[in-house]
Amino acid sequence: MAFKTRITEMFGIETPIVMGGMTGVGYGELVAAVANAGALGFITAHMYPTGQALFDEIEATRKRTDKPFGVNLTLLPSINPIPYDDYREAIIASGIKIVETAGRAPTDHLPRFKEEGVRVIHKCTSVRHSVSAVRKGVDVISIDGFECAGHPGEDDVGLVVLLPATVDALPDTPIIASGGMADGRSLVAALALGADAVNMGTRFCATVEAKIHPNVKQRIVEANETDTVLVGRTLRNTARVAKNAVSIEVAEIQRDPTKTFDDVKHLMAGVRGRENVLRDGDVDGGIWTSGQSQALIHDIPTCADLVATIMRQAESARARLAACGR
């Protein structure tokens, strides 16, 4: 039996599985593989220098799949200006109808997206921010629990509480569960808590099609739930990253509340993680994100095999629950 939800119906996808945008990972080749597997993937816009470069990647992705996919816009302060307006217009010109936003609310982009019939998913880390985003006009909330890779917010609420609390606050809004999701059990648990889909980031990093070094994929497979580190806590910009020599050093430095970002800037440089780690395979060469869900990841399949396995696991879990009521 299929798992039909408001998300599968809204976006015309076969399974309630989403791969959100990921810096250094969300290229079109992986997104197309995710789409062809029946899930929903997002190209990460800010990895491209211009709107035209993003448009070209969207077109190249369309040659690999005829199924729905979207684009992620992560709206954060940056030392160097990011061409968000150009990205937005490239998305619209390309005909993409699904956008995932993160960071600040996409208030200034919503009018154009609404005008062009683009549905917007916004990632949040709290109930209050989710409610605010819906009031501003976003269509879907992707709620990030404390287990997630990247930025889990500052409230430290796990998904098993945060998800149903968000569902209760926004009963008319489709909700995607993010953080700690990695298999069919995760999917069924999230659906039971009121979600309409799950978002898996770390799980899709450990796939054949992900354009990151095999050393990184293998480290994810070998890691457990304690092999992540929280950095940026004293700066109120918390990030969950893989435990390695660099992240441990950053966390140690930041135990001193008088230290500023300048004291760790050289260690946390994004280019260092993307080049040394994701590209070259030195897993101690920089900061890179990974979620606690890595404890549930034991192989490196193709996206097609992964999605098929997740859905078989979900069907088995659903059958087990049904048997409990007999």
pLDDT tens by residue, the chain, 326 residues: 589 999 999 999 999 999 999 999 999 999 999 999 999 999 999 999 999 999 999 999 999 999 999 999 999 877 678 999 999 999 999 999 999 999 999 999 999 999 999 999 999 999 999 999 999 999 999 999 999 999 999 999 999 999 999 999 999 999 999 999 999 999 999 999 999 999 999 999 999 999 999 999 999 999 999 999 999 999 888 999 999 999 999 999 999 999 999 999 999 988 999 999 999 999 999 999 999 999 999 999 999 999 999 999 999 999 999 898 77
- Alpha carbon of residue 21 to chain centroid: 5
Question: Can you read off the two tokens belonging to residue 302?
Answer: 């193709």
User: Side-chain half-sphere of 89: how many Cα atoms within 13 Å?
Assistant: 6
Longest alpha-carbon distance in the chain: 61
CB 30 within 8 A of CB 209: yes
* DSSP labels, 144-157: E-TTSSB---SS--
Rg (CA), the chain: 19
Q: Where are the alpha helices (DSSP H) in 27-170?
A: 28-36, 51-62, 84-94, 110-115, 127-136, 159-169
What does the pLDDT read at residue 316? 96
Q: Where are the alpha helices (DSSP H) in the chain?
A: 6-11, 28-36, 51-62, 84-94, 110-115, 127-136, 159-169, 184-192, 202-205, 214-222, 245-253, 265-268, 270-272, 303-324
Q: pTM here?
A: 0.95
What does the pLDDT read at residue 94? 98
DSSP summary character for residue 242: E
What does the pLDDT read at residue 1? 55
